[in-house]
Amino acid sequence: MLRIEEKLNILADAAKYDVSCSSSGGKRKNEGGIGNASASGICHTYTEDGRCVSLLKILLTNHCIYDCAFCVSRSSNDVKRAAFTVDEVVELTMNFYRRNYIEGLFLSSGIFKNADYTMERLLKIAKKLRTEEKFHGYIHLKTIPGASEELIREAGLYADRMSINLELPTEAGLKMVAPEKSHESVKKPLAYVNQVIKSLKEDKKLIKSPPLFVPAGQSTQMVIGATPENDFEIMTTAQEFYKSYDLKRVYYSAYVPISTNSLLPRIGTVPPIIRENRLYQTDWLLRFYGFRLEEILNPEYKNLDLDMDPKLGWALRNPQFFPVDINRADYKEIIRIPGIGRQSAMKIIHARKYGRLHEYQLRKMGIAFNRAQHFMICADTPIQLGEKSMLQVKAQILSKPIRTNKIINSNQLSLF
């Protein structure tokens, strides 16, 4: 029999491939219990306002009845197997919290026996933490595809966030490497949880204190690069799920070559992390910068440029929108300038109330001026940007290292 330390090593390592681990949005109040979902601590993940939060991130078990080619826990893989009991997970969580190692729990699992059997144990852990241990820290539970709606609903009363992995961006790609799974088995629980969330919001108009149900919302994750989908297909799927299920986040996980299966691509030992980065940047442009998907990706332009961030790529392909007069343009125009983020755009809007802005003032606002200068004019700009100069602009920008080419953390919300 494995000691709990050995189980922890095995199941924490197996959980590292799941990147949909965010504590953003937890609002559970502590009323005489232990823990606080809103407190800051050791950096493992990020909240919406940028604070770092630590989570115990483990699998309940790495036993699994499925044989997904891309998954380290697949049934045919020769790895050491382990499984926690309900009491062991509860004890670990409470002991880690009391030592100030963590502020919450991220709990996923392989599917053993069947979906309901696994979901029931995840539910028991969350319920015991909340009701017996009076734990009010953050809890993120994985929804098990195929589990009954009754179990999912009860689990949502104890979890702050729930997520279920889409696995691959398209149904065709999923059937290639995981023929036992389908997108429909993911859509059904996502739709059910979203329906309950909306129903309780309506009840709030009539009832003073309706029960908390997944207050931090839902998320999902897609593995990128294991199957041949292009970036346009990936982002089309992401947009569909954001719209249909009100997801808080879609996570993009670069395929890690953990298998020699003939169905999977040979990419050496380094996953295509830069592509993952570009997809996250595109995701934020669509959600926070007012871009439409067809402006960045479309049937004629199906893949993102790995040499530059998607906002810069859009700007170079659309010279008719530039230069932007920084002293006259509205907020929506300013945030489309490469090198200017949302906070910097607001600074510009507020600062120009007191006079026309010059180059030296913009440099002090924290914008990436060496990039932005090619797409804007300020009070002392001598020459306006012409459409014919875009090729020179591209060459000049790409000849220098730029901040948006660095890899960003998948849980951070800032694009720049």
Token pair, residue 341, equals 């983020």
Q: Which amino acid type is present at position 275?
A: R
* pLDDT value for 299: 92
Element (H, E) at 150: helix 149-156
Largest CA distance in the chain: 76
Report domain extents, the chain.
4-271, 312-405
Q: What number is the average pLDDT over the span 141-159?
A: 94
Q: How many CB atoms lie within 10 A of CB 23?
A: 28
* pLDDT value for 42: 38
Q: In this predicted model, what pLDDT tens digit does every residue of 236-266 receive, in sequence order?
A: 999 999 999 999 999 998 887 765 555 565 5
* pLDDT value for 386: 47
Q: In this predicted model, what pLDDT tens digit does every residue of 275-284 receive, in sequence order?
A: 999 999 999 9
* pLDDT value for 102: 84
The band of 39, judged by pLDDT with boundaries at 50, 70 and 90, is very low
Q: What is the DSSP string of 273-339?
A: HHHHHHHHHHHHHHHHS---HHHH-BTTB-S--TTS-HHHHHHHH-GGG--EETTT--HHHHTTSTT
Q: In this predicted model, what pLDDT tens digit does every residue of 297-345 receive, in sequence order?
A: 999 999 999 889 999 999 999 999 999 999 999 999 999 999 999 999 9
**Window from 47-51, 263-267, 374-378 with minimum mean pLDDT:** 263-267
* pLDDT value for 141: 93
Q: State how far the Cα of 64 lies from the Cα of 84, in Å rounded to an integer.
A: 14
| CA angle 189–290–236, rounded 5-degree value | 40
* pLDDT value for 24: 45
Nearest CA to 70 out of 143, 173, 172, 158 is that of: 173
The band of 100, judged by pLDDT with boundaries at 50, 70 and 90, is confident
Q: In this predicted model, what pLDDT tens digit does every residue of 196-247 receive, in sequence order?
A: 999 988 888 788 788 889 998 999 999 888 888 999 999 999 999 999 999 9
**Window from 40-49, 63-72, 89-98, 186-195 with minimum mean pLDDT:** 40-49
Query: Percentage of the chain surpassing pLDDT 90?
Result: 49
- Helix, strand, coil share of the chain (percent; to 5): 40, 10, 50
The band of 38, judged by pLDDT with boundaries at 50, 70 and 90, is very low
The secondary structure of residue 76, as a DSSP letter, is: T
Mean pLDDT of the chain, nearest integer? 83
Residue 90 has pLDDT above 50, yes or no: yes
Q: In this predicted model, what pLDDT tens digit does every residue of 402-411 receive, in sequence order?
A: 444 344 444 4
CATH T-level topology, domain 4-271: TIM Barrel (3.20.20)
* pLDDT value for 267: 47
Q: What is the DSSP string of 32-49?
A: SSB--TT---SSSEE-TT
3-state secondary structure of 163: strand
* pLDDT value for 30: 60
| CA angle 284–287–292, rounded 5-degree value | 100
